[in-house]
Structure 1
Amino acid sequence: MASKQSSAAKPRLFTPTFLVAWLINFSMFLVFYLLVTIMALYAVKEFSASNAAAGFASSSFVVGATFARMFSGWLVDSMGGRKILFTTLAVIAVTCAGYLVAGTLVAVIIVRALHGIAYALASTAVMAIAQGAIPSSRRAEGTGYFTMGNTLATAIGPALGLAMSSSLGYTSLFVFSLALAVVSLGLAFTLPKPDTNPASNASKKFQLSDIVHPTVLPIGSFMLLIGLAYAGVITFLNQYSVQENLTTGAGFFFLASAFSMISARTFLGRLQDHRGDNPVIAIGVVCYVICLALLGIATSDWMVVVAGIFSGLGYGTIAPACQAIAVRCVPAHKMGTGISTLFLLSDVGLGLGPILLGYIASNSGFAMMYLGLSALTLIAGIYYIFIHGRKPQSKPHHVQIATVEKID
């Protein structure tokens, strides 16, 4: 009887604002994953780019995103997420059209960078809108459900992007990406108007803490290391699988990853809300170490698929858990800055990854690269213990106190 009353007392999670934000976020991430897995190969095939230049064509998106992250939190906090979201979704639609007319590698790189800038601002805005709609007592659970959109995009995007580019051509892929961007812009107009007016923050001067919020810096630096490891998967898995004749396994890697992510999200968010951060981060780090090690020693397709399962349980667990931590670390009026700080540092890892890891892979091979990333992830897990895991903020009691304070 008591459990039924407790369940009935739970604040509502799936509100119209949350659901619309979820759909916009899914569409944006789907466009990202449609393009990121084919861009390096596109640069080589269409413009005869070198491996380094092709890697930069792919990572220029993240370079633009990293630049925009420095200001995205401040803009969202001072101007409001809704206004920023409208503007940047329109820019994303324009850049998706730009892929259709970019006739040189330099033009592609410029379009990618502009797309990255708009994407960074839009993703910060839509996350802030969603976090504002999530009840504080269900913060990690709601964040987990929200980032399922990222998970589905991860599962659908790479495989669909490769299939469309190989069977229908790159033009069809770019047109489809443009259509998704236009749909996202249309969805933004259905978002309810916020209850609060951000105009009171509009006059606040830009400060260094608006780039990197000090309280989010520790967990953000942890995500930088994890993002560097993740870059090795999303950027080079396709090339690695072709080289090692593991293309069938690579084709199912992201599907397996998505399946395990979705399965884990149904309970890991609630675990974090009730038991604290450490158990969830520990699960994520161990699983991701196993994923990368399996990729490093893979000799059969089934090993790549199993690695995909552990990727979902690894990176797919760590990312939303760290987002919930970041939101909890800042006051409500600095939510945009807290989110952008985490995204900024994660993007630094994703941006450096293709360049740095491309150099390592060229000299040592992909297998050694993945084994090295497995060791890096283990080091990141140890680093987490010192920068957050031993603090009261990571413990269940502190999570429950923070929840009450947010509600008040």
Structure 2
Amino acid sequence: MESGNQRLWSGRFLLAIATNFFVAMVFYLPMTTMALYAVERFNASDSLAGLASSAFIIGAVIARVFAGKLLNLVGRRRMLLAALLVYSVVALFYAPTGDLTVLIVIRVVHGIAFGTAATVLAASVISLIPFTRRGEGVGYFGLSATLGTAIGPFAAVVLVNAFGYEWLFAFTTGCAVVALLLGLFLRLPERIPSDDERANRWRMRWSDVLDPWALPISLVMLLGGIAISGVLAFLNSYAHAKDLVEAASLFFLVYAGGVVVSRLIVGRMQDRYGDNVVIYPTLALFAAGLVVIGMAPDGIVLMLGGVLLGLGFGGLLPSGQVIAVSLAPDHRVGTATATYFLMLDLGSGFGPIVLGLLIPQTGYHGMYGLLAGVVVVAMALYHFAHGHKRRGEALA
């Protein structure tokens, strides 16, 4: 039984988890099929297909630039509900769109709504978690997005193969509406901005966009975002090229299984033993997963790569967020959260564009090998940015 300020589970925490799940579903449902959809529907090139997939993330990047500063000035609840309303309305426009340029614009606007909603939820949920249980609490909160990672791509493949893209887009809209309905009942902890913050509410400086305390670990996630984008945007195309479509439909389920295992273990380990004990192993597993995916001769090996990827990236994401918000002052938690996910979104948003140009030169095997190298570079960057410091072995 939890008591006092150590209590983690509450009605608001559970409702935030449920809202975040449906927000994530709307992200992942079209993401893993969008590149292939752009090719089949509009005869798009690899680079334009990558742009159609990553335009959503580009929109999220735009939102992250402003969300951290506006979070407390506008109000967390107001920002969340406005974002979720746009999230629901824009989803209606996928199916009738008959032009690739219009589709990309829709993806950007949809991404702006996602980036705003996700930033509000991620920054606000920190206030619902006891400080000494941040690693554990953020890990549990992140499981909601993990379930979206598993169910979204799997449902997308099933819906497209059985009924077509129109059903996929209809289901995506339904998930956005459910997120909005849940958000109506979610009461987030608000923070009253200082007089100085109010006086400078329209001023935009670099420090209003990028938190200097959170930036080093956020740059590690920039590289992580580039690496994971090669899986999110091109796994289905890779599977079609290798005749591994059936395995690809199960890939994100086993990936999510790896993430669940990682999240149940990594958060508590980080709270107890410190950051390095979890960051170095998760980065190593992340790199190993990419190597296995790139070398996969059959579906079994491909799914093994998914498990390794889930254990690695799945544990890295919340652990890095805990570092970012723990290093920043309390009044800059919103900006620190936005900085962290801004860098992640930059990597995962622009990654597919660059990788789409790279694939004709390297092939999918070479691309995944290069991405494993990117993760190794991220490990070195983490060491110099944070890992070499002797941080307290536990938060308690």
Fold match by TM threshold 0.5: yes
Is 1:396 matched up with 2:393? yes
Q: Mapping of 1:283-294 within 5 angstroms? A: 283-294=281-292
Q: 1:155 to 1:67 in 2, by over 3 A?
A: same
Q: What is residue 58 of structure 2 aligned with on the other side?
A: 63
Q: Mapping of 1:276-355 within 5 angstroms? A: 276-355=274-353
Give the whole-Å Cα distance in 1 for the aligned partners of 2:257 and 2:251.
Answer: 10
**Is contact 1:80–1:198 with CA below 8 Å preserved after alignment?**
no
Is 1:356 matched up with 2:351? no
Which of residues 364, 382, 385 in structure 2 aligns to 1:384? 382
Give the whole-Å Cα distance in 1 for the aligned partners of 2:354 and 2:114.
Answer: 23
Q: Which residue type is aligned with residue 325 of structure 2? A: V
Give the whole-Å Cα distance in 2 for the aligned partners of 1:335 and 1:37.
Answer: 31
**Is contact 1:77–1:333 with CA below 8 Å preserved after alignment?**
no
Shift of 1:9: 6.1
**Is contact 2:19–2:182 with CA below 8 Å preserved after alignment?**
yes
Q: What is residue 113 of structure 2 aligned with on the other side?
A: 118
Q: Deviations over 1:225-269 (max 9, x none)?
A: 011000011111111111112223222221111112112212210
Which of residues 136, 139, 147 in structure 2 aligns to 1:144? 139
Shift of 1:8: 5.5
**Is contact 2:84–2:180 with CA below 8 Å preserved after alignment?**
yes
Q: What is residue 170 of structure 1 aligned with on the other side?
A: 165
Q: 1:335 to 1:103 in 2, by over 3 A?
A: same
Give the whole-Å Cα distance in 2 for the aligned partners of 1:294 and 1:194.
Answer: 43
Is 1:23 matched up with 2:21? no
Which of residues 185, 199, 202 in structure 2 aligns to 1:203? 199
Give the whole-Å Cα distance in 2 for the aligned partners of 1:202 and 1:99.
Answer: 38
**Is contact 1:219–1:384 with CA below 8 Å preserved after alignment?**
yes
Q: What is residue 99 of structure 1 aligned with on the other side?
A: 94
Q: Which residue type is aligned with residue 51 of structure 1? A: D
Shift of 1:165: 1.5
Shift of 1:380: 1.1
Give the whole-Å Cα distance in 1 for the aligned partners of 2:198 and 2:41.
Answer: 45
Give the whole-Å Cα distance in 1 for the aligned partners of 2:62 and 2:234.
Answer: 24
Q: Deviations over 1:102-160 (max 9, x none)?
A: 22111111100000111111100011221111111100100000000111111111111
SS state at 1:382 partner: helix
Give the whole-Å Cα distance in 1 for the aligned partners of 2:337 and 2:131.
Answer: 15
Deviates more, 1:299-308 or 1:188-197: 188-197
SS state at 1:101 partner: coil
Is 1:369 matched up with 2:367? yes
**Is contact 2:35–2:234 with CA below 8 Å preserved after alignment?**
no
Shift of 1:40: 1.2
Q: What is residue 32 of structure 1 aligned with on the other side?
A: 27
Taking only aligned residues, the RMSD between alpha carbons, in angstroms, comes to 1.6
SS state at 1:14 partner: coil
Deviates more, 1:370-379 or 1:107-116: 370-379
Q: Which residue type is aligned with residue 145 of structure 1? A: Y
Q: Mapping of 1:122-271 within 5 angstroms? A: 122-192=117-187, 194=189, 196-198=191-193, 201-204=197-200, 205-271=203-269
Q: 1:111 to 1:366 in 2, by over 3 A?
A: same
Shift of 1:63: 1.3
Give the whole-Å Cα distance in 1 for the aligned partners of 2:179 and 2:25.
Answer: 11
Shift of 1:10: 6.7
**Is contact 2:18–2:144 with CA below 8 Å preserved after alignment?**
yes
Q: Which residue type is aligned with residue 324 of structure 1? A: V
Deviates more, 1:197-206 or 1:334-343: 197-206
Shift of 1:198: 4.3
Q: Which residue type is aligned with residue 315 of structure 2? A: T
Give the whole-Å Cα distance in 2 for the aligned partners of 1:340 and 1:206.
Answer: 14
TM-score, length of structure 2 as denominator length: 0.95
Q: Which residue type is aligned with residue 199 of structure 2? A: S
Is 1:88 matched up with 2:83? yes
Shift of 1:392: 3.2
SS state at 2:90 partner: helix
Q: What is residue 272 of structure 1 aligned with on the other side?
A: 270
Structure 1 unmatched runs, 5+? 401-408
Structure 2 unmatched runs, 5+? none
Give the whole-Å Cα distance in 2 for the aligned partners of 1:225 and 1:99.
Answer: 30
SS state at 1:31 partner: helix
Q: Which residue type is aligned with residue 379 of structure 2? A: G
Percent sequence identity over aligned pairs: 39
Give the whole-Å Cα distance in 2 for the aligned partners of 1:236 and 1:225.
Answer: 17
**Is contact 1:285–1:314 with CA below 8 Å preserved after alignment?**
yes
Give the whole-Å Cα distance in 2 for the aligned partners of 1:372 and 1:208.
Answer: 32
Give the whole-Å Cα distance in 1 for the aligned partners of 2:247 and 2:189.
Answer: 45
Deviates more, 1:258-267 or 1:118-127: 258-267
